[in-house]
């Protein structure tokens, strides 16, 4: 790529030297302020070699990407005689650009499926967060006081609010699942209700003291056997059946018979096939987590923490949301304690450590400014600006951040850290870890900081690469 020829071509297409008032380079864009916008030929600018996009305006923004933009800008400055400015772009804007570029590449069907699953659970998180905190804190109060508050109505009301969310969570999951896959939400709620244990459920009725036996298995029906996975899959199934029935049902009767056919057909399939399948999936998930956490020990903790940032980078971390919800369910195998989340939180700590290392070592003013802006919110658990604007564009620091984060994962596993709900990360994790373990959580997070700092300081620093991306 001949940067001199590109700059010469841009100068002509922008109306010549006399029409350029100023120009500046940010991380990915060359911004040229024109005296007369009408003299710019935007269509031909888009065809110039290396141009990825153009934002029209009195200040035309020409997108080249990291590294290239600085070289083109320097050549253009030599032609115009004007000083090339370097904009102090907001780190959030740069991060958004880089994240958008990555997201545009994620067109595989698996990305779309996982995004849909994330869309089902993410709207439920506020309620899950509140209920998790209620359950965790009231359990501590009960143990520490010997149940002294159990006779107070207001205390039991608070406990009931926490109980209600997890008890009826399958209904909400089924409802969102049907909606996300093109069905009617209330029909999905009926699908999810099949996974709610309630004494009044007719299928749980006892005849002469004996339970009603299911076909094939010859055992009593167990609504909870498939868990949230059964509710998720049943909601998808109901949506598919509803869409299929609508295609063949006459318009004059579809209002009545489409919901009826969907519920009856879906109910039989959900109970006989979907719930056993959900049980297999749920058992496999907990088995894999048990193997990584209990069997592999600190090695599993290291791998989980070190491997989490790549999932975040491509947006696949939301696929873990159902797992976090299951772990925080008081009726689940872990009694509501999420041992996975504190390990994964350490990934952000490794990245913060990498950011500090880059800030200490580099002489590049633009990188120091970007890192300085991104680090405070990164410490508080909002790591996207630091990742998309600093470590990922440079490449090697992203890898060393992952490797260093594993130190925190080892400590989180060794110290048996657990969270009572989800929704926050970074130092805000102190609010959701099990009461009494805050200091141990802080030790693990500091370990992740130290790991990311040391590995990046010695193996992730490359000033030449930094100057290519951010400009010398």
Give me the pLDDT at residue 92, please: 57
First to last CA, the chain: 19
Whether residue 278 lies inside any domain: the answer is yes
At residue 382 the predicted structure's pLDDT band, cuts being 50, 70 and 90, is confident
pLDDT, residue 111, reads 67
Question: How much is the pLDDT for 104?
Answer: 57
Q: Examine residue 95 and state whether it is found in any structural domain, yes or no.
A: no
- Structural domain including 436 reads 306-470
Rounded-to-integer distance, Cα 460 and Cα 53, Å: 31
Rounded Cα gap, residues 207 and 212, in angstroms: 7
Task: Please give the average per-residue pLDDT across 18-47, as a whole number.
Answer: 85
Model pLDDT, residue 2: 86
pLDDT confidence of residue 59: 83
The structure tokens 């490794």 sit at 350
Flag whether pLDDT at 471 surpasses 70: no
Does the pLDDT at position 444 exceed 80? yes
Is the per-residue pLDDT at 400 higher than 90?
yes
Residue 263 has a pLDDT of 97
The 3-state DSSP class for residue 206 equals strand
Give the Cα separation of 352 and 455 in Å (integer).
12
The answer to whether residues 81 and 122 belong to one domain is no
Domain-embedded: residue 216: yes
For residue range 116-136, list pLDDT tens digits in order: 888 898 888 889 889 888 988
Rounded to two decimals, the pTM is: 0.73
Give CA–CA dist 267/192, Å, rounded: 10
83-101 per-position pLDDT tens digit? 887 554 545 556 666 666 5
Which pLDDT does position 73 carry in this prediction?
87
What distances in angstroms separate CA 362 from CA 367, 371, 379, 390, 400, one per listed residue?
8, 11, 20, 12, 16
The pLDDT value recorded for residue 52 is: 73
171: Cβ contacts below 8 Å, ≥ 6 apart: 189, 192, 193, 196, 231
Q: Which of 324, 341, 293, 329 is nearest to 441 (CA)?
A: 341
Q: Which of 232, 257, 289 is the last residue of a domain?
A: 289
Q: Can you read off the two tokens belonging to residue 300?
A: 């599993």
Give me the helices (H) in 22-168, please.
42-45, 68-80, 91-104, 109-121, 125-145, 153-167
What are 148-162's pLDDT values in tens digits? 999 999 999 999 998
404 in the same domain as 312: yes
If pLDDT is split at 50, 70 and 90, which confidence band does 49 have?
confident
Say if residue 361 is in the same domain as residue 270: no
CA distance 66 to 85: 16
Does any domain span residue 96?
no
Secondary structure E strands in 136-249: 206-207, 210-211
**Are 129 and 79 found together in one domain?**
no
Given 257, 289, 321, the domain boundary residue is 289
43 exposed, middle or buried (CB, 10 Å; 0-12, 13-18, 19+)?
A: exposed
* Of 10 and 108, more confident: 10
* CA dist., res. 142 & res. 149, Å (int): 8
Tell me the per-residue pLDDT of 306-319, one tens digit each, with 9 for 90 and over.
999 988 876 677 77
Average pLDDT over residues 266-280: 94
Task: Give the model's pLDDT for residue 87.
Answer: 53
Total number of domains constituting the chain: 3
CATH of the domain at 46: 3.30.1360.60
Residue 357 has pLDDT above 60, yes or no: yes
Q: Is 280 found in the same domain as 320?
A: no
If we measure between CA atoms, which residue out of 425, 436, 423, 342 comes closest to residue 377?
425
CA distance 191 to 81: 70
In this structure, the answer to whether residues 400 and 281 fall within a common structural domain is no
Q: What is the pLDDT of residue 386?
A: 87
Domain boundary at 289, 317, 351, which? Answer: 289
Residues 261 and 353 in one domain: no
Cα–Cα dist 383/380, whole Å: 8
What is the pLDDT at residue 65? 65
Mean pLDDT, the chain, rounded, equals 88
The token duo for 113 is 């499926």
Please give the DSSP secondary-structure letter assigned to residue 152.
-
pLDDT of residue 225: 86
pLDDT at position 50: 81
Based on the fold, state whether residues 8 and 72 are members of the same structural domain: yes
Q: Does 183 share its domain with 114?
A: yes
The answer to whether residue 153 is domain-embedded is yes
**pLDDT greater at residue 88 or residue 336:** 336
Residue predicted with more confidence, 293 or 57: 293
Longest dimension (CA), the chain: 97
Residue 295 maps to a domain: no
Same domain, residue pair 322 and 375: yes
Q: Is residue 101 part of a domain?
A: no
Q: Are residues 243 and 322 in the same domain?
A: no
Comparing 29-33, 166-170, 219-223, 361-365, the range with the smallest average pLDDT is: 29-33
Q: How far apart are CA 23 and CA 46, in angstroms?
A: 18
- With a cut of 80, say whether residue 53 has pLDDT above it: no
Q: Is the pLDDT of residue 356 over 90?
A: yes
Is 14 noted as a catalytic residue in this protein?
no
- Spatial separation of the C-alpha atoms in residues 388 and 97, rounded to whole Å: 8
Residue 37 in domain: yes
Task: Report the pLDDT averaged over residues 435-439.
Answer: 93
Question: Of these residues, 7, 25, 26, 69, which one is catalytic?
Answer: 26
- Same structural domain, 204 and 116: yes
Residue 459's pLDDT band (cuts 50, 70, 90)? very high
């Amino acid at each position: 790529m001949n940067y001199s020829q590109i700059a010469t071509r841009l100068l002509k297409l922008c109306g010549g030297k006399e029409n350029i008032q100023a120009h500046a380079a940010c991380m990915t864009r060359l911004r040229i302020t024109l005296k007369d916008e009408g003299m710019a030929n935007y269509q031909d600018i888009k065809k110039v070699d290396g141009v990825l996009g153009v934002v029209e305006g009195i200040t035309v923004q020409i997108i080249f990407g990291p590294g290239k933009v600085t070289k083109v800008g320097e050549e253009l400055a030599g032609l115009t005689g004007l000083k090339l400015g370097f904009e102090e772009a907001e780190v959030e804007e740069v991060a958004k650009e880089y994240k958008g570029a990555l997201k545009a590449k994620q067109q595989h069907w698996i990305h779309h499926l996982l995004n849909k699953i994330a869309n089902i659970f993410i709207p439920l998180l506020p309620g899950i967060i509140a209920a998790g905190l209620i359950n965790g804190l009231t359990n501590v109060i009960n143990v520490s006081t010997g149940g002294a508050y159990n006779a107070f109505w207001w205390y039991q009301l608070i406990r009931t609010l926490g109980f209600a969310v997890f008890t009826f969570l399958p209904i909400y999951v089924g409802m969102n699942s049907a909606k996300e896959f093109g069905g009617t939400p209330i029909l999905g709620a009926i699908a999810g209700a099949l996974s709610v244990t309630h004494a009044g459920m007719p299928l749980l009725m006892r005849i002469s003291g004996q339970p009603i036996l299911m076909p094939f298995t010859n055992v009593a029906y167990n609504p909870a056997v498939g868990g949230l996975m059964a509710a998720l899959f049943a909601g998808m199934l109901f949506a598919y059946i509803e869409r299929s029935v609508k295609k063949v049902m006459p318009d004059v009767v579809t209002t009545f018979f489409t919901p009826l056919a969907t519920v009856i057909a879906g109910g039989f399939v959900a109970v006989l096939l979907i719930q056993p399948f959900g049980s297999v999936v749920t058992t496999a998930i907990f088995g894999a987590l048990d193997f990584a956490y209990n069997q592999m020990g600190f090695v599993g903790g290291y791998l989980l923490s070190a491997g989490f940032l790549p999932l975040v980078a491509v947006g696949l971390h939301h696929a873990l949301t159902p797992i976090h919800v299951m772990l925080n369910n008081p009726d689940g195998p872990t009694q509501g304690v999420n041992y996975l989340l504190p390990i994964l939180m350490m990934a952000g700590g490794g990245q913060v450590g990498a950011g500090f290392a880059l800030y200490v070592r580099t002489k590049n003013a633009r990188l120091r400014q970007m890192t300085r802006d991104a680090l405070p919110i990164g410490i508080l658990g909002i790591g996207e600006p630091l990742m998309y604007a600093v470590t990922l564009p440079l490449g090697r620091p992203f890898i060393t951040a992952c490797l260093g984060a594993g130190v925190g994962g080892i400590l989180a596993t060794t110290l048996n850290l657990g969270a009572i709900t989800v929704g926050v990360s970074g130092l805000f994790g102190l609010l959701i870890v099990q009461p009494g373990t805050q200091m141990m959580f802080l030790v693990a997070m500091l370990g992740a900081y130290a790991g990311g700092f040391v590995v990046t300081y010695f193996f992730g620093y490359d000033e030449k690469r930094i100057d290519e991306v951010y400009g010398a």
